[in-house]
């Protein structure tokens, strides 16, 4: 089971950002891609996080699919 909705653990501080729908959707998309990637590679989700090269490959796939991995850089107008 992979947490990907309201059941993920966040602090009261991060909840301010997490509660927005686009962030929730992003988490769900990433979880779906994680499971797909694990099935293709015959690995566990923990293997993605525990191996830097595997994490980099997975993140590259997310970027190729248009999944944002970081907050946009904000600048004063």
pLDDT tens, position by position, 12-59: 787 777 777 777 788 889 999 999 999 999 999 999 999 999 999 999
* 6 assigned to some structural domain: no
Could you tell me if residue 25 is inside a domain? yes
Measured distance CA(39)–CA(1) in Å, rounded: 13
Interatomic CA distance for residues 63 and 60, integer angstroms = 5
Q: 2 lies in a domain?
A: no
Euclidean distance between CA atoms 4 and 41, whole angstroms: 21
Residue 76 falls inside a structural domain: no
Domain count, the chain: 1
- The answer to the question of residue 10 being in a domain is no
> Is residue 32 a contact partner of residue 53, using CB atoms and an 8 Å limit?
no
Structural domain including 24 reads 15-64
C-alpha separations of 46 from 14, 37, 72 in Å:
22, 12, 27
Structure tokens at 38: 């694990």
* pTM for the whole structure: 0.78
């Amino acid at each position: 089971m992979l947490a990907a909705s309201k059941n993920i653990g966040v602090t009261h501080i991060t909840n301010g950002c997490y509660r927005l729908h686009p962030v929730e959707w992003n988490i769900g998309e990433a979880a779906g891609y994680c499971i797909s990637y694990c099935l293709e590679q015959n690995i566990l989700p923990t293997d993605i996080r525990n191996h830097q090269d595997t994490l980099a490959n997975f993140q590259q796939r997310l970027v190729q699919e248009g999944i944002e991995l970081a907050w946009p850089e904000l600048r004063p107008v």
